[in-house]
Amino acid sequence: MRDSAQDRVSAAMLAVSRADFLPASQRGRADYDGPIRIGFGQTNSQPRTVASMLRLLDVQPGQRVLDVGSGSGWSTAILAELVGPSGQVIGVERVPELVERSLKVLAARAKASAAACPTPEICQAQPGVLGWPEAAPFDRILVSAEARELPEQLVEQLAVGGRLVIPVRKTMMLVTKDADGIAVTHHGAYVFVPLIED
């Protein structure tokens, strides 16, 4: 991980208000360092956990990033800050209401902001498809839901030299890919909503 990863992640998280991505009834809890329910059985992840995952992901300017289980769109917006104006971020979410809500928040944020970062795309997940293979490969993939096993579909969408961060059976995994294959390292225990893979 590059030395500046911690500072870059902190700056990106400060630039993106968590409150904007929460339901109105929950906005007063935006500073709470824990998961917050956003409806439809989903949560906005604990900020400390998001920061840890983003530091592992080590997103660099200009990269193409996939955010699987984008939920409220908060992490997707943070990723857009990290890739900057020359990068691309695609969020994929299964819950149509969350897709609609996050698109509205991101559009309002883009309109109100003079920031030079791209507006992320949020796509409705397709039945039987994990990730967004039509736009692969991705330099970085962030998964904010817990898988039962490491999903081969996502590994296939990762570019050579890429990094995938995903919780699998309550363990945070970092998957790195090179020309010879993948390497997996474990980075602590976490609890997430389940990843729907059908």
Report the length, in residues, of the chain: 198
Containing 164, the helix (H) or strand (E) segment is strand 158-168
Torsion of CA 46, 136, 59, 34, to 10 degrees: 0
70 part of the active site: no
Which of 45, 70, 75, 102 is labelled catalytic? 45
Instruction: Single out the residue of 56, 13, 72 nearest to residue 167, CA to CA.
Output: 56
Containing 109, the helix (H) or strand (E) segment is helix 96-112
Q: Enumerate the active-site residues.
A: 45
